[in-house]
Every structure is written in structure tokens, then in C-alpha cells.
Amino acid sequence: MSAKVFLLSFLAAFGVPLASQHSAPATVVLPVEVLGDDGTVVPRTLTLDSAQSAAAVSLWLKIHGVRYPQQASLQWNDGPWIPLDNSTAQISGPAKSYGGIGGAFSTFELQIPLPGHSAVPGDNTIHFRFNQSDGLSSGYRVLALNVLDAAGEKLLPPEQFRVDSPEQWTPPHPDSLSIEAGRQLWNSAPLTENALAQSRRIQARCADCHARDGRDLKYFNYSNLSIIVRSRFHGLTALQGEQIASYIRSLPAPNPGRPWNPPYQPGPGLDAQPVSHWAAGAGLDAVLQNDAASLPFFVSGHAAASADPELVRAITPNLFRPDGNLNAREIPLSLPLPDWNQWLPRIHPKDAWGTAFTESKFASLLDGATLASNRTSLRRSLQSSANNLRAVLPLFAQWSQARRTFLSQQIKTNGDWSAEKTSKIYSTQLWQLVKTWELMHEFALEDRGQELFGPAADSRTWWTSVATDTAPAATHIPGGSFGVNGSALNNEYLNAAWYQLQIILNSGTHRRRDRQPVDWVYTISEYRDLYRETREPEPLRLLIAVTKALQSSDPRIGPQDYRQGWRPEQNIDPRILVDPNWAPMFKPLSPDVRRAVTNSLLQAWLDKNMQYPLTQYLSLPVPPHYSKSLYGDPDISGGKAWLALDQFRAAGVSPDLLQQLQDWGAAYTDRAARLQY
């Protein structure tokens, strides 16, 4: 039996309708999971009437998981096989600026021109082929498809498609013995690195790289087929894969997500969902086609159909008020965050580092399952201190410090940077991120931040800086060929994405401590690094970060507290909106919008400054830990916004506000000079 015939029989056995089994018009079941061995082919049939076939000029796809040019091909009817790469496909939306196929995004839309007059009335069959694995991939998914006319309009109606619902899925083997066998395999089955020839055995088991009980596969609705195929990819049999899939299907965990929907992707209405659904995110439909489309959500909280003048009137200082609390969870972005596949480590730390990891404090702090098992672990503490979270919080900080110490040592002792070293370092960072997600969900911790940080805290929050710590920049992974995925662009995307996730998960909850949990000046300086790679300005994503930076300190603590209080010289200041070096970042905003934003942000910042007497900013004696040195970009931080009076004037700031700024700056400068600050 050929591989193609075997796969078609296999799909039919699991209830996936095949196009040839349907009479016209065919209902197309989505997604198309092109998963399996090299050469796997999966068909779908589109039924066109005469007018549609005559008008069809291109095929439109939304595709997930095509990461390299040799990975995928398609065939329209009996035509030639067309490889999917940046020369044959027209990439749509922001993904084009992020490298298209082989770039940063896991999911994107593309168009493929159809050979002339190849669309026919009646059934038209598309064959999707998984060409070959790169040692990481076991296939891809087509999430949506259609045919387009010359004007780019979709020809097939939505009712011709049906999305396969996870609620209909059942265990391949529902008996208790099979489910128990799957659980044991999940925890202890020996695995190989991949399905390539001469693949080596690895120490990691399924539970090591995923959530220990497999809840992530249930939560993000990985299909039976995907679990079986991936099990075979790692050296198990089809039966063992079916048993693991049966175990995953039987888990009582919630399942609101999908493999292609980025965890925690922001979008309107997300907070109205149960906190258990937060990690599922708002879905790919919440990812905007351009950053400027975020403006109505930033201003009014919804996609207002208002004209620009109405939006301008709604831009007030209250939006940027440092004592406020902008909800970054509900403002959609044009930047898709990493999907769950991008969270998972490519190599487990014990396969990367051996006993250096397994005997480390970094490993033992999670669950104590090492030679240092006498140490207090996070899991044990959470199990015994469910109602005393303050006792557990220091352990998260210790775990972060243990990671920094461990990886610093590995970076020093493992030679120059290489693709292999990058993979090991970055995978270790991902491992901690995944295991933090596991703890947050296993112990239902995501909505308990106010117990720790008080009523000013976000209603939903993590407690750590682990998302920031996952960025390649956190361990100085270089760009270029030794960067993650082999390019500076991908490195910068991952830096931006993990920093954005940190803002969503834990921006400080009005409880900043020095540069924790977000080093705002450094994080915001990275926006220009990404822009240099993509040439895609993101003014709204930047304004979200600037606003959350201003809101990072406790409203109850004034500037007399140098570590936690309102200290404008330690934060971003309004000069970012008028500094010439940052002008390209705000170019998508209309002049009226930018003028309103500049006035409002400067007014909010100055109002906050003037809440406190100058004696609290510049006290006597000079605190021993006070430093004049700046870090990051001195043109947008340091608090001396009055030095940019001419730029603010040119930007249209009101004369009254300019006078307030000048007076504040003169008084501040005079006292600083007299006290020799």
C-alpha cells in the first residue's frame, strides 16, 4: 500500500471527510492537516459553478506551520506541483515584512496564481503535500482556503466550508486500559530526537517538554491525528500514539485554544471570558492588518467607526494617566504572538546540558526531582501553601535567578556562538516558560495577583518576568546566522513578541522594583531594532508600552522612594513623541492624531510630576544610591522633557502647556544645581 493510500484510509478511519466521498457541492472540512511522513498528501475538493470557474484566477490560503521553502507543495487538479515559497506565493499583510515563508510568523495568508483556465465547472481537487521534514516539522495546516477573482474577491461562500469542532472528538481507544497505557507512555516512553535516519535517543519524555500531565495538548486542541503523527515522529508506534491521544482526550482540563491561536493574544472581550480561557487568547481574527488599526481600541476600547476628528477629540490625558491602568489584554495588535509550538523547547535542558542541568538548583527548584531534592521546590510549596501565596513568591524569584546563573555558566563554558549553542540556550529559556505556564494552570494562579499586590494590581497577572527572560536578547543571543531560526529579523521578532507578552502577563501591576519586572527603557528602545529589520512602524504598540511604563509605579508611593516611587528620570518621558530619531515610528498616525497624543501624554506626565513638591525629587542629603547615569536612550528617558521645548512647540503643543513645562523645568534645574544633584 502506498503512503498516500495509507494516509487517506487513515484519515477516513478517524472521521475526516475526503473530497471524493462528497457529491457536489462539496463541503470542505477545515483545517486541512497535512501531517505525517515525508511525501504525505491530503486532498480537498472545491466545487465551482460555471461563473466561478471562469472568474477564478488564484488560490487563497491561510496556512499554519510552513516554516521553510522545501516544506510544502500543492497541486491544482492535474497540474504541476507548485512549491510554496516566497517566489511562487504572494504573501499578504504584515507577514510579508517579516520574511514571509521562512520568516518570523507561523501563520499567514498567501495567494497562488492558478494556471490559465485550469479551474473547471464542478469538482476541482487541491492536493497538499508535506515534502520533507527539517528534523523539527512533521507537517503543516491549511486553516482556510478559497478561490479569488481578478479583483481579489472570494468566490466561494462561507457555508461551503465547515470547521472541524474539537467538541466532536473522541479518544481513539476509549477503554480505561488504553487511556492508562497512554498516561504511562506520556510520562516514561523512550523517545528519539526526530523521524530522520540515524536519529538519536533522547533523555526527555513527553511530559518533560510539555505540561507534565499533557494538559497543554488538550487545552490547545491538538487533534488525534497530530498527536499520533508526532508520537511516530519521536519514535513511537501508531498504536502508542493512539493511546497517548486517548489519554489526552480523557483529561478534564478546559480546551478553549487551538494550536495556531497565539497564547494570550490580546483582543476585545478577552476579560469577559473565564480566566481559565485567558491563555487561549483572542485568536488570529484579533490580529490586525496594520498597527494603526489599534487606535480606536486604544482610545475607546472598541473598533469605533468614527471619523478621525471624533477619535482626536477622544484622545485626552486620562488615556496616559500614570495613576491609571491601561488594559493591554484587550487592545488588539498587528503583531501575532508566538503560538504554542513556538513555546515548546526544541531540545530539553537535560539533553542539552546533561548532569550540569539535572543536578542544578535551576532544575531542583521546579519539583525537587534531582540530587538536590531536599530543597524546597515550587511545586511542593504550591501544593502545601495554596492559601499562602506570599510564601511561594520568593521561590519564583529564586528560580529566575537560578536560570540566570545556570545559563551564564553555560554561555561561558560552551565555546563560541553557533546554531547548536543558540538552540540549547534558547530552548532552556523556553522550558522555564512552559513550566511556568504549567504551574499557573495546574494551580489556577492567574487571577490571584491582587492577593499578592493589592487592589491596584491587574485582575489577571503572572508573578514573574519569565516572558522577558525568554527573549533571545536576555542571554545575548546574536542575530544573523547564529540567531534563533538563523536571522536577525527572527531574533528581533522574538524579542518584541516576548516583551509584548510580558506587558500582557505582568507589566508591574503598579509595583515596580527598580527595573523589574520590565526594564522599560531597554524594552522600548528595542522597538527601533525591530523597525530596522521590518520597516513596519508600530506607533500604537509603542504607545501601549509607553503608557504601561508610566503606570508601572504605585500611585501611593511618591518620588522619595527611589526604587519604587514615581521617578521620571528612571522612565520613558514624552520626548519620545518629538525626538527626530523616533519620528518614523509615528509616521502612520495623522498629524491631528499625533498632535493630540503629544499634548495629552505631556499633560498627563506633567500633572503627575506636579503632584509632589520638588523636595521629594531632590532631597537632602543626596541619597547614597542616587545616580545621574542614564541607561537606554537619553533622548527619550531621563525626565528632562523641558529640554525639548522647541520640538514640542513645533509639534503643536498648546502654549499654556509649554509654559507649565518650562516653569517646572526651570524650578527643577535650579534646585538640582543648588543641591549639586
Asked if residue 301 is part of any domain, the answer here is no
- Judgement on whether residues 127 and 245 belong to the same structural domain of the protein: no
- Judgement on whether residues 172 and 147 belong to the same structural domain of the protein: no
Q: Name the pLDDT band for 630 (thresholds 50, 70, 90).
A: low
Asked if residue 375 is part of any domain, the answer here is yes
Please state which of the ranges 436-440, 457-461, 664-668 shows the lowest mean pLDDT.
457-461
Q: What is the distance between the alpha carbons of residues 324 and 298, in angstroms, rounded to a whole number?
A: 14
Closest among 238, 247, 221, 438 to 345, alpha carbons compared: 438
Cell triple for residue 322? 500614570
Q: What is the distance between the alpha carbons of residues 106 and 440, in angstroms, rounded to a whole number?
A: 25
Question: What are the helix and strand counts (H, E) for the chain?
Answer: 25, 13
- Judgement on whether residues 189 and 150 belong to the same structural domain of the protein: no
Q: How far is CA 21 from CA 18, 24, 27, 156, 169, in A?
A: 6, 10, 10, 20, 21
Give me the mean pLDDT over the 301-327 stretch.
86
Closest among 64, 85, 84 to 74, alpha carbons compared: 84
**In this predicted model, which residue has the larger pLDDT, 19 or 550?**
550
Please state which of the ranges 238-252, 440-454, 640-654 shows the lowest mean pLDDT.
440-454
- Of 216, 235, 250, which residue constitutes the final position of a domain? 250
AA letter at 266: P
E strand map for 65-207? 72-76, 81-83, 90-91, 107-113, 122-130, 139-148, 161-163, 191-192, 201-202
Asked if residue 496 is part of any domain, the answer here is yes
- How many C-beta neighbours within 10 Å does residue 50 have? 10
CATH number, domain containing residue 231: 1.10.760
Asked if residue 481 is part of any domain, the answer here is yes
Q: How many domains does the chain have?
A: 3
Cell triple for residue 292? 494603526
For residue range 125-145, list pLDDT tens digits in order.
999 999 999 999 999 999 999
**572 Cβ neighbours under 8 A, 6+ residues apart:** 520, 521, 524, 546, 549, 550, 636, 637
Does residue 374 carry a pLDDT above 70? no
- Give me the pLDDT at residue 615, please: 93
- Judgement on whether residues 195 and 136 belong to the same structural domain of the protein: no
- How many C-beta neighbours within 10 Å does residue 70 have? 13
- How many C-beta neighbours within 10 Å does residue 385 have? 14
Domain holding 422, by residue range, is 340-583
Q: Which residues of 610-629 are buried (b: 16+ CB within 10 A; e: fewer)?
A: eeeebeebbbeeeeeeeeee
Please state which of the ranges 34-48, 86-100, 317-331, 500-514 shows the lowest mean pLDDT.
500-514
- Give me the pLDDT at residue 418, please: 96
Give me the mean pLDDT over the 30-43 stretch.
98
- Give me the pLDDT at residue 22, please: 42
- Judgement on whether residues 450 and 487 belong to the same structural domain of the protein: yes
- Judgement on whether residues 389 and 497 belong to the same structural domain of the protein: yes
CATH number, domain containing residue 132: 2.60.120.1200
- Of 250, 277, 294, which residue constitutes the final position of a domain? 250
Give me the mean pLDDT over the 168-178 stretch.
97
Query: Phi/psi at 133 (nearest 5 deg)?
Result: -85, 150
- Judgement on whether residues 575 and 560 belong to the same structural domain of the protein: yes
- Judgement on whether residues 378 and 446 belong to the same structural domain of the protein: yes
For residue range 378-425, list pLDDT tens digits in order.
998 998 876 688 888 999 999 999 999 999 999 999 999 999 999 999
Q: What is the distance between the alpha carbons of residues 293 and 218, in angstroms, rounded to a whole number?
A: 33
Does residue 371 carry a pLDDT above 60? no
AA letter at 170: T
- Judgement on whether residues 90 and 212 belong to the same structural domain of the protein: no
Does residue 21 carry a pLDDT above 80? no
- Judgement on whether residues 42 and 186 belong to the same structural domain of the protein: no
CA end-to-end distance (rounded Å), the chain: 82
Q: What is the distance between the alpha carbons of residues 510 and 564, in angstroms, rounded to a whole number?
A: 9
- Give me the pLDDT at residue 307, please: 65
- Give me the pLDDT at residue 369, please: 60
- Judgement on whether residues 214 and 115 belong to the same structural domain of the protein: no
- Give me the pLDDT at residue 628, please: 61
Give me the mean pLDDT over the 95-118 stretch.
94
Averaged pLDDT score across all residues of the chain: 92
Q: What is the distance between the alpha carbons of residues 455 and 449, in angstroms, rounded to a whole number?
A: 9
**In this predicted model, which residue has the larger pLDDT, 603 or 4?**
603
Give me the mean pLDDT over the 455-459 stretch.
81
Please state which of the ranges 148-152, 201-205, 326-330, 630-634 shows the lowest mean pLDDT.
630-634
- Give me the pLDDT at residue 48, please: 97
Asked if residue 91 is part of any domain, the answer here is yes
Strand pairing report for 28-30 and 161-163:
parallel
Q: Name the pLDDT band for 455 (thresholds 50, 70, 90).
A: confident
- Judgement on whether residues 544 and 431 belong to the same structural domain of the protein: yes
Three-state SS across 455-506?
CCCCCCCCCCCHHHHHCHHHHCCCCHHHCHHHCHHHHHHHHHHHHHHHHHHC
Asked if residue 533 is part of any domain, the answer here is yes
Asked if residue 266 is part of any domain, the answer here is no
- Give me the pLDDT at residue 591, please: 94
- Of 583, 618, 636, which residue constitutes the final position of a domain? 583
Does residue 2 carry a pLDDT above 60? no
Asked if residue 654 is part of any domain, the answer here is no
